[in-house]
């Protein structure tokens, strides 16, 4: 469906109240896992790749979810899948990377509304005082220190090379900022262990996002195991409970990385493939939905995905429905000549 047509339809559904009614009534055997990164205003990131949402937009979206859906912890969904229990329509909230603004801006809203959430942390940057290299590149671009082409090239290198090789590519350009704007600090600063413990104490779930935020599809196998184990150990040490959840940085995975995640003792892993989680989903490559900024697009896209799933569920039910006895007798007679 073309985006402008969707926008018009979703706008009408939202402001007429029909979206709320359908969202409450529509049955669907699936869960929408929503993917966020940070919550802050005026992020110094190119607009088309800006992975943060503003504080006002975030709170509006969370209030919309509170009105229309059950919001579950990711661990509850994993437990249901493990037990073979049929999933029912619900939403899960996840945050990747481990930004300080998760604690400062997102958590207070979610705690106030009583909405559970999971944070996936790249543990190398917790308490480190440094930003992830990719965010340093965005900051240098926003300050005019590198060109658009240089930024794009460095971004490509960081995302698609093994961690050690990627740092060599960007190394000569890295310039950890000493004085930055408030907007940059709010966008890129990472969590401290104290903040992790406080959020966990208030009910947040924590999972691994590797140690260095490496691309698990191309990282060496030994390095993959080290990344998975080290991040798990650090999180368990500071949170004080087993870490069961994992999310692939950039959403990239391979058969080898999937096997290593299982071997490391995780019970699920999230990708960035677009879609809903069903009982048929691969538990170690679970899909997610990205967020839309306009409230009618956010609620409309969520409803649209659940509608498609409800249609699939209904069709599957019809296909599996047993034939009436008279039809069975007729079919048997035809087969027997």
Alpha-carbon distance 214 to 218, whole Å? 9
The mean per-residue pLDDT over the stretch 311-331 comes to: 66
- pLDDT at residue 165, rounded to an integer: 84
Distance CA 51, CA 38 (A): 7
Q: Per residue in 116-146, pLDDT tens? A: 999 999 999 999 888 998 998 999 899 898 9
- The count of other CB atoms within 10 Å of the CB of residue 318 is 8
Per-residue pLDDT, 330: 54
Per-residue pLDDT tens for 292-306?
A: 889 999 999 999 999
The token pair that represents 95 in the structure block:
């945050």
Q: How far is residue 151 from each of residues 46, 139, 200, measured CA to CA in Å?
A: 10, 10, 35
The DSSP bridge partners found for residue 274 are 288
Lowest mean pLDDT among 46-55, 87-96, 314-323: 314-323
CA dist 77 and 72 (Å) reads: 7
Note the pLDDT of residue 183. Answer: 86
pLDDT at residue number 328: 42
pLDDT digits (tens, 9 = 90+) for 197-224: 999 999 999 999 999 999 999 999 999 9
Strands 205-208 and 38-39: unpaired
- pTM > 0.95: no
User: Could you say which DSSP state residue 180 is in?
Assistant: -
pLDDT for position 336: 44
What is the per-residue pLDDT across 58-70, written as a single tens digit (0 to 9) for each?
A: 999 999 999 999 9
Q: Which domains does the chain have, with CATH numbers?
A: 29-131+177-291 (3.20.20.370)
Report the pLDDT value the prediction gives residue 329, as an integer from 0 to 100. 54
Cα separation, 211 vs 125, whole angstroms: 8
More confident residue, 270 or 182: 270
Minimum mean pLDDT range among 38-47, 116-125, 273-282: 38-47
Q: How far does CA 270 lie from the centroid of its chain?
A: 7
Confidence grade of residue 48 (pLDDT, cut at 50, 70, 90): confident
Bridge pairing between strands 52-53 and 38-39: parallel
> CA 53 to CA 30: how far, in whole Å?
25
Q: What is the DSSP string of 214-271?
A: --TTTS-HHHHHHHHHHHHHHHHHHH-S---EEE-GGG---HHHHHHHHHTT-SEEEE
Q: What is the average pLDDT across 138-155?
A: 92
Find all residues with CB under 8 Å of 25, minimum gap 6, and list them.
Answer: none
Give the torsion through C-alpha atoms of 104, 107, 111, 112, to 10 deg: 50
Write the pLDDT tens digit of every residue in 157-173.
999 989 888 777 776 55
228 vs 307: CA distance, rounded Å: 36
Our CA dihedral for 317, 28, 289, 232, rounded to 10 degrees, sits at -90
The Cα 329–Cα 200 span in angstroms is 61
Helices (H), the chain: 3-16, 18-25, 55-68, 74-83, 100-101, 107-113, 133-142, 148-160, 163-170, 182-188, 193-201, 221-239, 255-263, 295-320, 325-335
């Amino acid at each position: 469906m073309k985006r402008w047509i969707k926008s018009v339809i979703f706008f009408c559904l939202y402001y007429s109240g029909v979206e709320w009614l359908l969202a409450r009534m529509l049955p669907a055997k699936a869960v929408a896992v929503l993917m966020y990164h940070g919550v802050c205003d005026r992020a110094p990131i190119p607009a088309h790749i800006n992975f943060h949402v503003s504080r006002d937009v975030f709170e509006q979206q969370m209030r919309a979810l509170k009105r229309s859906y059950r919001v579950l912890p990711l661990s509850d969904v994993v437990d249901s899948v493990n037990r073979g229990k049929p999933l029912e329509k619900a939403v899960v909230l996840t945050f990747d990377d481990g930004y300080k603004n998760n604690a400062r801006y997102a958590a207070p809203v979610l705690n106030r509304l009583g909405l559970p959430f999971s944070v996936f942390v790249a543990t190398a940057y917790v308490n480190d005082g440094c930003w992830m290299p990719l965010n340093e590149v965005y900051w240098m671009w926003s300050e005019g220190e590198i060109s658009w082409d240089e930024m794009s090239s460095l971004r490509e290198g960081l995302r698609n090379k093994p961690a050690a090789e990627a740092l060599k590519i960007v190394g000569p350009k890295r310039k950890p900022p000493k004085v930055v704007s408030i907007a940059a600090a709010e966008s890129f600063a990472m969590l401290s262990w104290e903040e992790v413990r406080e959020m966990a104490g208030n009910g947040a779930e924590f999972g691994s996002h590797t140690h260095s935020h490496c691309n698990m599809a191309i990282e060496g196998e030994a390095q993959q195991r080290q990344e998975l184990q080290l991040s798990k150990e650090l999180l368990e040490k500071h949170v004080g409970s087993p870490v069961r959840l994992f999310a692939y940085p950039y959403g990239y995975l391979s058969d080898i990385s999937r096997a290593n995640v299982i071997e490391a003792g995780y019970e699920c892993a999230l990708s960035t493939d677009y879609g809903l989680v069903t009982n048929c989903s691969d538990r170690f490559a679970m899909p997610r939905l990205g967020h839309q900024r306009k409230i009618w697009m956010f609620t409309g896209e969520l409803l649209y995905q659940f509608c498609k799933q409800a249609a699939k569920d209904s069709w599957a039910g019809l296909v599996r429905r047993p034939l009436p006895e008279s039809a069975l007798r007729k079919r048997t007679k035809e087969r027997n000549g």
